[in-house]
């Protein structure tokens, strides 16, 4: 919920959807414009079997041309400003790459 307070209502210049379906999965947050998924991992994601499923899930989502970034719950609670800055950097990078691609087309 804490991260959503910063992602909702286009606060970072792009629209994110919460709990968005992508094929067999539900992404925590998804930006269609940038093809960007943000996953938030709680402590259950430290369990070996869950970690293995996360790898498969991420590979599947990446196969659709979608970038996936992950943050741990405690990382968000400890320093949400740093997490937001990392997300802003990725947004800017993806926007710049998109403009570069348009120029080459």
pLDDT digits (tens, 9 = 90+) for 77-86: 999 999 999 9
CATH of residue 67: 3.40.960.10
Domain of residue 26, residue span? 4-104
Q: How many domains are there within the chain?
A: 1
Give CA–CA dist 15/35, Å, rounded: 11
Nearest-10 Cα torsion for 19, 12, 59, 57: -20
Give CA–CA dist 83/73, Å, rounded: 11
- The predicted-structure confidence for 19-74, as pLDDT tens digits, reads as follows 999 999 999 999 999 999 999 988 777 788 888 999 999 999 999 999 999 999 99
98 or 25, greater pLDDT? 25
């Amino acid at each position: 919920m804490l991260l959503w307070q910063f992602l909702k209502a286009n606060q970072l210049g792009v629209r994110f959807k919460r709990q968005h379906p992508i094929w067999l999965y539900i992404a925590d947050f998804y930006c269609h414009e940038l093809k960007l998924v943000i996953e938030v991992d709680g402590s259950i994601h430290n369990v070996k079997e869950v970690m293995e499923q996360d790898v498969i899930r991420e590979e599947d989502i990446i196969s659709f041309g979608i970038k996936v970034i992950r943050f741990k719950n405690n990382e968000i609670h400890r320093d949400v400003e740093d997490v937001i800055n990392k997300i802003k950097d990725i947004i800017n990078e993806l926007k710049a790459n998109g403009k570069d691609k348009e120029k080459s087309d």
